Amino acid sequence: MRHNRRLRWAAIPIAASLSLVLAGCTQAQLNGFLPGFVEGEAPVTNNTERVSGLWVTSWIVLLVVGLLTWGLTIWAVIAYRRRKGQTGLPVQLRYNMPIEVFYTIVPLILVLGFFAFTARDQEAIEQRFAADEVDVQIEVIAKQWAWDFNYVKEDVYSPGIQGQLSDEGPKGSLVQSELPTLYLPVGKNVEIELESRDVIHSFWVVDFLYKKDMYPGKTNYMTIVPEREGTYAGKCAELCGEYHSLMLFNVEVVSEAEYEDYIDSLRALGQEGQLSNEYDRNQNKPGTGAPELKEEHEGE
């Protein structure tokens, strides 16, 4: 009873100071120093706040557990240190049922809690738009060591080359204008289809706070609404060979008018149609590319 009351009195100043601390926080701090958050600006996509929420809440819970554990450890080290004149082993305690039940149940609840919140957020982020809700459909095809972009509804494409190093500037500078660039209109429902021509890659736009693997022979999806115009750096996040580190791209989130202009510029370049899987390297993979080879063999 007395303990309960004491805990209640402790909760008030803790809650008060926590809300004071949080009220004085910047965007960067409130979002756990994750990239992409800018004071007074919209989040980068409709999913980024959900991701940062999971991240920050997990850190708070884990830090509370950490502080308790470190505190108790340090307290035990100091309070029960060997004193002058003590010899032999201290009293050995074992089989303390309440404590053992406690430290079995609490981590179990924590792990189940992390699992449940992660599953909830993943479910929401992975939720795909219905076919008629998709405004922009992009097919991203990864290849060693660059990216091809098909704008499916507009029926234009943009082939990419791997990052080009510049002779000017500091060693290892990239020629930004040569990087494959994916244009997305702001505020639209975007569905990105992720595919690979050769080995496993991973599509990662850092500020989107999300990445997804790209497998040969399987299509993965990323569903987003870009909410802030800007240039965002993207990269391959799966070690995929010699020039993996140059498998880079940029995402330009632009207004609808600029997006239309860009699509027109691809048309003007003659890049109409779609880059298909005829450039895939795994031509013997079941279900893709193989029919011609098969026919030849049948004719023998």
Q: By the criterion CB under 5 A, which residues form the site for Cu ion?
A: 201, 236, 240, 247
Closest separation in Å from C-beta 156 to Cu ion:
24
**Closest distance of CB 239 from Cu ion, Å:** 8
Residue reference for tokens 């309070």: 79
Output 201 or 211, the one with its CB closest to Cu ion: 201
Could you tell me the smallest distance in angstroms from the CB atom of residue 201 to Cu ion?
3
| Minimum CB–partner distance for residue 240 and Cu ion (Å) | 3
Cβ-based nearer residue to Cu ion, 197 or 201: 201
Cα 268 from Cα 41, distance rounded (Å):
34
Nearer to Cu ion, 185 or 216 (CB): 216
For Cu ion, the closer CB: 246 or 290 = 246
- Nearest approach in angstroms of CB 204 to Cu ion is 10
Q: Identity (one letter) of the amino acid at 240? A: C
CB of residue 205 to Cu ion, shortest distance in Å? 14
Least Cβ distance, residue 211 to Cu ion (angstroms) = 11
Which CB sits closer to Cu ion, 45 or 196? 196
Q: What is the three-state SS of the chain?
A: CHHHHHHHHHHHHHHHHHHHHHHCCCHHHHCCCCCCCCCCCCCCECCHHHHHHHHHHHHHHHHHHHHHHHHHHHHHHHHCCCCCCCCCCCCCCCCCHHHHHHHHHHHHHHHHHHHHHHHHHHHHHHCCCCHHHCCEEEEEEEECCEEEEEECCCCEEECCCCCCECCCCCCCCECHHHCCEEEEECCCCEEEEEEECCCCEEEEEHHHCEEEEECCCCCEEEEECECCCEEEEEEECCCCCCCHHHCEEEEEEECHHHHHHHHHHHHHCCCECCCCHHHCCCCCCCCCCCHHHHHHHHHC
Q: Which is nearer to Cu ion, 198 or 229 (CB)?
A: 198
The residue among 145 and 232 lying less far from Cu ion, judged by its C-beta, is 145
